[in-house]
C-alpha cells in the first residue's frame, strides 16, 4: 500500500520499496460545482519514476493536458497549482458510455501513465465503453511536486518499512523520522500542508468538471481506494461507478499501517506452503510450521551477524523481513523470497548476475518519499510522544513476530511540521448505491478486516466481492472478479 501497485512483470525494486495548529476555518463545501475549463490535449511530459525507480510504460495513444486548481481549497485566492491529466480514448466511440478515472496505489506514485497499464488488465468490454483518465496527484511528478532533498542513504528502499533494531529499540527510527520531517519542511515548506487525500479528491472533482461531465466513474487500487472513499463521501452524487480494489481501512493510511502485521500473519501461510513444497531444494522445512520457524530463526541470526553481498549491500535481519513482507503482495514474487531465504540459510550469494540485488535500485525517488510522507502525515494527526511508538512497537513485536514490531513503529508524522487542517473524511453512507469493492481474502497490505470495516461504514452504498486468494490486488482475469466488475461498469448492477 505504501508501495506502488504494479500489475505487470515483477521487479525487485518494487519488492524493496514495499516507507503549527491550524486556524479554525470552515471546510470547503462539497456542493459547489467548479466552472468547466476547456482542456487542450497534446503530448505528455516526461514520465515520473515510481517507487521502484521506473515509470509505468507509456501507451502511444495517450494524450495529456494541464489544469489549474486551488492550492488551498479553504483559501481559494491563495494561489494555484498545476495538475497534469492524461487520457486514452476508447477505440469504439460508438459504444462509449463515459470516462473512467484509473488511479494506482501509493501514496506518492505517479498515475499519469496508469491508463496504459490499465489496458493490460481491464476487460475488453470495459475498454470499449470508457475513455481512461489518469493524473499525477498534487505533489507528485508533473503536478507541482513536493521534495525533501533527502540524501540517498535516507531513501534506502528497506527503510520504507520502519522495522525496529534487533533488540526492539526504536531510537534509530525516531532519529530518521525526525530528519525526514525536518528535511521535507526545509525543502517544500507550507506546501506540504496542502498535500492531502481530501484535497486530491477535490482535485478529482475539478477534473470531472473540466471534462464537461456531471458524473465520472472511478477505479482505484490499494491507497487509491481511500481516495475513492473520500471522493464518494465528499461528492456522493458525482460518481457514477466507484470500484475499489484491495480496500484501505476507512481510517486511511494511519489505520492501514497499523494493520500490516495482521495482514502479514494472514498472508504468510500461502508463502510457507510454497516454500515447504520445495523443501528438497530449499531445505527450509517440509511443513508450513517448519518454514515459519526457519524464517524467524534466520531473521534473528542475521540480526546478530549480517551477511555481505558481492554488490556491496548487506543482508540484515530487517532486509530479510522487508523482502519477505513485500513478496506477500503477489504469489509470483515468492521465488525472490525463496532465493533470499536460501541465501540467509547458506550465507552464500547466488552467482554473479543472479543476486536479487543486482541491477535493482537501492533507493526510492525523493519525490515519492516526499509525497508519500505528506499525504500520510497530512491526512490525520499522529501522536507526538515517542513513548507511544515504543509501547506500540513492543506490543506489536510480541503479538506479531513475523513483522517484529514494524506496524507499531514511528513515521515522520510524529515530527511533521504541519498539523492537519481538517479532520479525516469519514465514509458517508448517505448517497446512491454505487460502490463495488473487490478483495482478496488474504492481503498483507490491505487486510480483509479493514475492507470489511469500509464496507460496513458505507452501508447500503457498497457491495463487496471477496475471493479466496492471497496477494495484494485482485486478478481481473478471474471470472469471480471480471464478471461482477463488467456488470457494474456496463449496466450498473451490483452483487446482492
Domain CATH for 246:
3.40.50.1820
Look at residue 13 and tell me if it is in a domain.
no
Residue 370 domain flag: no
Residue ranges in 242-287 assigned as alpha helix (H) = 253-258, 260-276, 279-282
Residue 475 falls inside a structural domain: yes
The parts of the chain modelled with pLDDT lower than 70 are: 1-37, 351-361
For residue 59, being part of any structural domain is answered with yes
Domain range for 246:
43-146+195-252+427-491
Q: What is the pLDDT of residues 254-263, one digit of tens each?
A: 999 999 999 9
In a domain, 183, yes or no: no
Q: Is residue 103 part of a domain?
A: yes
pLDDT at 37: 67
Instruction: Find cell 494506482 and name the residue.
Output: 104
Note whether 221 and 103 are within 8 A (CB): yes
Task: Show the beta-strand stretches assigned E in 378-428.
Answer: none
Task: Please indicate, yes or no, if residue 377 is contained in any of the structural domains.
Answer: no
SS3 content of the chain, % helix, strand, coil (to 5): 45, 15, 45
pLDDT at residue number 33: 53
Give the pLDDT score at 362: 75
pLDDT in tens, 284-305: 999 999 999 999 999 999 999 9
363 DSSP assignment = B
Element (H, E) at 319: helix 317-327
Whole-number pLDDT of residue 1? 54
Compute the distance between CA of residue 161 and CA of residue 147 in angstroms, rounded to an integer.
Answer: 20
Domain count, the chain: 1
CB 87 within 8 A of CB 39: no
Is residue 14 within 8 A of residue 51, CB to CB? The reply is: yes
**Residue 287 included in any domain:** no
| The pLDDT of residue 23 | 31
The predicted structure's pLDDT at residue 54: 85
To 5 degrees, how large is the angle CA 94–CA 214–CA 212?
70
Amino acid at each position: 500500500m505504501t508501495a506502488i501497485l504494479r500489475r505487470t512483470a515483477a521487479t525487485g525494486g518494487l519488492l524493496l520499496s514495499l516507507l503549527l495548529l491550524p486556524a479554525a476555518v470552515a471546510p470547503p463545501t462539497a456542493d459547489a460545482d467548479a466552472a468547466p475549463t476547456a482542456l487542450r490535449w497534446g503530448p505528455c511530459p516526461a514520465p515520473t519514476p515510481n517507487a521502484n525507480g521506473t515509470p509505468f510504460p507509456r501507451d502511444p495513444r495517450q494524450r495529456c493536458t494541464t489544469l489549474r486548481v486551488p492550492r488551498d481549497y479553504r483559501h481559494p485566492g491563495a494561489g494555484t497549482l498545476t495538475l497534469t491529466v492524461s487520457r486514452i480514448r476508447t477505440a469504439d466511440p460508438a459504444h462509449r458510455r463515459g470516462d473512467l478515472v484509473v488511479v494506482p496505489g501509493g501514496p506518492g506514485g505517479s498515475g499519469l501513465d496508469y491508463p496504459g497499464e490499465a489496458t493490460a488488465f481491464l476487460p475488453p468490454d470495459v475498454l470499449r465503453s470508457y475513455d481512461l483518465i489518469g493524473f499525477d496527484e498534487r505533489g507528485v511528478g508533473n503536478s507541482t511536486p513536493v521534495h525533501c532533498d533527502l540524501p540517498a542513504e535516507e531513501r534506502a528502499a528497506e527503510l520504507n518499512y520502519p522495522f525496529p533494531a534487533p533488540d526492539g529499540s526504536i531510537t534509530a527510527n525516531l532519529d530518521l523520522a525526525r530528519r525526514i520531517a525536518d528535511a521535507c519542511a526545509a525543502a517544500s515548506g507550507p506546501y506540504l500542508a496542502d498535500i492531502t487525500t481530501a484535497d486530491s479528491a477535490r482535485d478529482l472533482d475539478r477534473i470531472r468538471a473540466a471534462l464537461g461531465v456531471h458524473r465520472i466513474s472511478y477505479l482505484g487500487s490499494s491507497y487509491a481506494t481511500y481516495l475513492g472513499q473520500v471522493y464518494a463521501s465528499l461528492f456522493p452524487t458525482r460518481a457514477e461507478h466507484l470500484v475499489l480494489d484491495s480496500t484501505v481501512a476507512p481510517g486511511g493510511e494511519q489505520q492501514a499501517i497499523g494493520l500490516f502485521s495482521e495482514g502479514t500473519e494472514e498472508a504468510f501461510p500461502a508463502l510457507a506452503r510454497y516454500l515447504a513444497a520445495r523443501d528438497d531444494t530449499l531445505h527450509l522445512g517440509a511443513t508450513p510450521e517448519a518454514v515459519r520457524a526457519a524464517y524467524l530463526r534466520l531473521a534473528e541470526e542475521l540480526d546478530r551477524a549480517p551477511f555481505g553481498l558481492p554488490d556491496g549491500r548487506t543482508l540484515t535481519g530487517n532486509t530479510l523481513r522487508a523482502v519477505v513482507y513485500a513478496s506477500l503482495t503477489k504469489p509470483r514474487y515468492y521465488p525472490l523470497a525463496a532465493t533470499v531465504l536460501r541465501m540467509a540459510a547458506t550465507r552464500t550469494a547466488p552467482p554473479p548476475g543472479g543476486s536479487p540485488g543486482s541491477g535493482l535500485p537501492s533507493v526510492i525517488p525523493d519525490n515519492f518519499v516526499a509525497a508519500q510522507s505528506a499525504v500520510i502525515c497530512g491526512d490525520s494527526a499522529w501522536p507526538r510522544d515517542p513513548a507511544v511508538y515504543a509501547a506500540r512497537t513492543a506490543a506489536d513485536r510480541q503479538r506479531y513476530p513475523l513483522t517484529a514490531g514494524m506496524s507499531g513503529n514511528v513515521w515522520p508524522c510524529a515530527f511533521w511540521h504541519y498539523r492537519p487542517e481538517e479532520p479525516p473524511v469519514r465514509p458517508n453512507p448517505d448517497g446512491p448505491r454505487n460502490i463495488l469493492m473487490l478483495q482478496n481474502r488474504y492481503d498483507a497490505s490491505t487486510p480483509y478486516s479493514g475492507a470489511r470495516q469500509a464496507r460496513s461504514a458505507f452501508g447500503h452504498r457498497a457491495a463487496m466481492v471477496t475471493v479466496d486468494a492471497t496477494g495484494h490486488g485482485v486478478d481481473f482475469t478471474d471470472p469471480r472478479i471480471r464478471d461482477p466488475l463488467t456488470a457494474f461498469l456496463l449496466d450498473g448492477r451490483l452483487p446482492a
